[in-house]
Structure 1
Amino acid sequence: MLLRRSPGGRRPTARVRRLAVLTGTHIVNDFYQGATSAIIALLAVRHGYSYVGVTGLLLAVTASSSIVQPILGFLADRHRTPWMMSAGVLTSGVGCALLGITEGYWLSCAAAVVAGLGIAAYHPESARAVREVGGDSATAMSWFALGGNVGYTLGPLAASPFLLWLGLGASPWLVIPAVGAAIAGGLAMRRRSEWADRERARSNTAWARDNWRAFGWLTLSISARSAVIVGVASFLPLLFIREFGVTQQMGSNSLALFFAAGLIGTLVGGHVADRWGETLPLWFGYAATSTALVVLAVAPLPWIAWMAVALLGVGSYLPFGVNVTLGQRYLPGRAATASGVTLGLAVSVGGFLAPAFGLIADGAGLNAALLTLAIMPIIAMVAVHRLPAVSNDAEK
């Protein structure tokens, strides 16, 4: 069941509406993550950045997000911070808008940092709010995660043609959706006190059951997965442009296909987890991801590469929403902290590895970089093997 009736008798439809608003703000927030990747690719073509330069800009986004996000999650667990979600999505929009009009490399890095800080502020509070509305349902979290995937997919799909048509100087117009999402999110967070009070009371008595060892293994698996996501975001458009000779728009569309396939993987992962257990989508997802990366690296024809991208998107996103739910179950007393790590720190760790993969791509080619990335899902599978089972009723 997606959402359960609250003890106070609140209609499930009201909870579904609240989840819909949270999912909508996630669409907008992660739209800027996808748009940032597209803008960086356009900046690389415009200024002739190397692979290391491209991954350096992505590192600026991911590093700023990863450093701050767990701290903000800890604060959200201890204090009421409903404003953080709206402030985050607005800041991420401003950073993305500024990125397109920067001229120097270091100014571009500064704008990327602003976007990363906004991403950091948004996720812990919003994911904790989803837990308050949806309980421990992996399906509810997967719908919320789906919003992020939709936004991430729309980012390059919408931003690339828009900026190719009007030029990078039109990027300030991209801030408009952030303003609307900030207002809608602020109104939603003001009306969540009933579920927030119940969740905070439960968290205050659940901290003693926090399983940090299991959470550590989960964090390792998410970190390995994040290296794949960041690597694909860095290299995929350039792979199709430089290896298969497609246009810039078609190169961006390859990234859009990757994230669109991820929409399917996210929803399927949540349903599978609620029906057959949380680790099953993790196993299948990481196995498919490693296979797809190898096929993509050796693909002799474009259509084979396109099929590999679709499999890569489904496989790498099967664990997405499930990882957040598992993190919150392993740390039932620190839901926002768990969200900050599973959606922030662990996901952003891949950004720290991105320059290393950029060096491999510069020195040995994109195919070698993709084959190296294929090792990361195997590491994730080793970590998943160490995860203990957790009951849906563990927190009750």
Structure 2
Amino acid sequence: MTPPSGSAAAAGVPSRPLPSGSMKQTVYRILLSISLVHLLNDSIQSVIPAIFPILKNSMHLSYTQIGWISFAINFTASIMQPVVGMYTDRKPSPYMLPLGMASTLLGMLSLAFAPNYWTVLLSVVFVGLGSAAFHPEGSRVARMAAGPRRGLAQSIFQVGGNFGQSLAPIFTKLIFIPLGQFGAIWFTAVAGLAIMVQMYIASWYKGILAVTERTVKSADARSIDPERSSKVRFAIIVLILLVFCRSWYGAAIGSYYQFYLQHHYGISLERAQDFIFLFAVAGAVSTFFGGALADRFGRKNVIWFSMLGSAPLAILLPFVSLGWAYVLLVLIGVIILSSFSVTVVYAQELFPGKVGTVSGLIVGLAFGLGGVGALALGNLIDKFGLDTIMIVCGFLPLLGVLTFLLPSDKKIREWTKEA
């Protein structure tokens, strides 16, 4: 039964059935809530790279073994996100959100007491599964609450996650250096808070489904022209390659640049965390503005700028003084991560009605390719040395020239039609 129009409007629920993602107004309280949960979820996930220096010393791990830990969490999330997305596209599941966070809580509890390397690997798999359950449905909630401002809504959602990831060096500095591995126990409380907020979001989500159940399967009320399907497939492949380049560069900075700073400049581990934090925070801020700029100037244009605009700075980074490294890391973070939320919205426009699948694919790839990158880079560093690999990684953003092959925003609109 449809609620009265006054109470429905006040609650952010449409007074008549509307497809997901086509609400007339932007529901900011839900966007801010899902962004908060994204912050909490990715704060927990950032514990994994934050604890790398501690595990490396206490368990005497090689760079390759560190790479395997990063691979375990990121690859688990990347494999499962599209699976979760495909399932929830067919059967939206509001309570998938708190259930996924329960898996993350279990992983943190296990990590705090992990006695050996293999238990650490198992613990991070549980965290990866929780992340996989959260991201497709979180992106769907952001789409449902977006109203007409899809780029901004996705940015609000993603900025929480990117800011959460940026806290890894702070956790290393303030929690894991003084407390060691057992410091992970504090993040079970963070997971508990996230579960409470997710229950509130799930209740809203369930209410939306109650008034849209007749039309939820036709989310976005648009379909792709079958004659354009091959071009759409080519576009998504190009987009995946761009995500690949961005993720590998992010893995190089997030997982190994702290060791490069220690080795090349001779600074302490504590001070090295400040550099990684600057890069991550700059990226989190630009994630928010990137979506708003994409709504104004076009998604392809922002993707193009984020890749090629960061390339010359990334190439210079390994050769500059320590002072300039601060500056370049901030600029690179601002530029290269401005397209983080934009690539998700761009992919959703390519495949309207497949919000969960596409979000799981693109965000899952960001995690998975970052994990593959961390593993591959760890192996390469062990073979060729840290300095050499960091210099080579600086050239990765140059592959952003592939953006030229993406269809324009206008062309994508031509490929889709109103149902």
Of 285-294 and 178-187, deviating more is: 285-294
Matched, 1:276 2:289: no
Q: In the superposition, relative to structure 1, how do residues 254 and 81 fare at CA in structure 2: closer, same or farther (>3 Å)?
A: same
Does residue 372 in structure 1 map to residue 392 in structure 2? yes
Matched, 1:344 2:351: no
1:161-200 paired onto structure 2 within 5 Å:
161-193=174-206, 195-196=208-209, 197=212, 200=216
Tell me which residue corresponds to 1:386.
Answer: 405
> Contact 1:328 / 1:334 at 8 angstroms: preserved in 2?
yes
- What does 1:311-322 correspond to in 2, within 5 Å? 311-322=331-342
Q: Which residue of structure 1 lines up, in the alignment, with residue 349 of structure 2?
A: 329
In 1: Cα distance, 2:366 partner to 2:69 partner: 18
Q: What SS does the aligned partner of 2:167 have?
A: helix
Structure with larger Rg = 2
Greater mean alpha carbon deviation, residues 309-318 or residues 331-340: 309-318
Q: Deviations over 1:89-145 (max 9, x none)?
A: 332243244334323222211112111111111100010110011046211111111
Match of 1:70 in 2: 82
Cα distance, 1:166–1:356 mapped onto 2, change above 3 Å:
closer
Which residue does 2:122 correspond to in 1? 110
Q: Does 1:354 align with 2:374?
A: yes
Aligned length, in residue pairs: 389
Of 241, 256, 270, the match for 1:235: 256
Deviation at 1:185, TM superposition (A): 0.9
Using the size of structure 1 for normalisation, the TM-score is 0.90
AA aligned opposite 1:364: F
- CA-to-partner distance for each residue in 1:56-105, whole Å, 9 max, x for gaps? 11011111111111101100100121112222233224324433432322
Amino acid corresponding to residue 8 of structure 1 in structure 2:
S
SS at match of 1:333: coil
- Is 1:214 matched with 2:235? yes
> Equivalents in 1 of 2:87, 2:222: separation in Å?
17
2:159 matched to 1:143?
no
Aligned with residue 310 of structure 1, among 330, 335, 356:
330
CA distance in 1, matches of 2:146, 2:84: 22
Deviation at 1:273, TM superposition (A): 0.6
Q: Judging changes above 3 Å, is the alpha-carbon distance between structure 1 residues 395 and 157 closer, same or farther for their aligned structure 2 residues?
A: farther
Query: 2:34 is aligned with what amino acid?
Result: L
- Pair 1:26 & 2:47 matched: no
CA–CA distance in structure 1, aligned partners of residues 177 and 238 of structure 2: 43
> What's the CA shift for 1:7?
5.7
- Contact 2:77 2:367 (C-alpha < 8 Å) held by counterparts: no
Segment drifting more, 113-122 vs 204-213? 204-213
When residues 360 and 27 of structure 1 are mapped into structure 2, their CA distance, relative to the original with a 3 A threshold, is same
2:170 aligned residue? 157
Could you tell me how far 1:194 is from its partner in structure 2?
A: 5.5
CA contact (8 A) 2:247 2:373 kept: no
- Which of 8, 12, 19 is the aligned partner of 2:15? 8
Change beyond 3 A, Cα 1:48–1:308: farther
User: What is the rounded CA distance, in whole Å, between the counterparts of 1:190 and 1:275 in structure 2?
Assistant: 33
Give distance in 1, aligned partners of 2:25 and 2:69: 43
Counterpart position of 1:133? 145
Partner deviation per Cα, 1:345-389 (whole Å, 9 max, x = no partner): 34412322322222322233223212222333222431x211112
**CA 1:22/1:257 → structure 2, altered by over 3 Å: closer, same or farther?**
same
Q: What is the CA–CA distance in structure 2 between the aligned matches of 1:205 and 1:20, rounded to whole Å? A: 26
Residue number among 38, 46, 51 corresponding to 2:50 in the alignment: 38
- Give the C-alpha shift of residue 303 in structure 1: 0.9
Q: Quick one: distance in 2 between partners of 1:343 and 1:38? A: 21
Query: SS where residue 222 of structure 2 aligns?
Result: helix
Which runs of 5 or more residues in structure 1 are unaligned?
Answer: none
1:261 aligns with 2:282: yes
Once residues 96 and 256 of structure 1 are traced to their aligned partners in structure 2, the CA distance between those partners, rounded to angstroms, is 22
SS at match of 1:192: helix
1:287 aligns to what?
Answer: 308
State the partner residue of 2:3: none
C-alpha offsets along residues 219-264 of structure 1, whole Å, 9 cap, x if unaligned?
2211221111122211121122222222222222222111111122
Amino acid at match of 1:113: V
Tell me if the contact between 2:236 and 2:347 (Cα under 8 Å) persists in the aligned partners. yes
Partner of 1:85: 97
User: How far is the alpha carbon of 1:318 from its aligned partner?
Assistant: 0.9
CA pair 219-362 structure 1, distance change in 2 beyond 3 A: same
In structure 2, relative to structure 1, the CA distance for the partners of 1:11 and 1:131 (3 Å cut) is: closer
In 1, distance between residues paired with 2:396 and 2:179?
Answer: 39
Quote the Cα distance in structure 2 between the aligned partners of 1:130 and 1:71. 19
Q: Given residue 70 of structure 1, which amino acid in structure 2 is its aligned partner?
A: P
Query: Which residue number in structure 1 is paired with residue 64 of structure 2?
Result: 52
The match for 2:4 is none
* Aligned mates of 2:208, 2:409 — CA distance in 1: 23
Q: Is the 8 A contact 2:293 2:302 kept in 1?
A: yes
Residue pair 2:235, 2:407 contacting (<8 A) in 1 also: yes
The structural deviation recorded for 1:201 is 4.3
Q: What is residue 202 of structure 1 aligned with on the other side?
A: 218
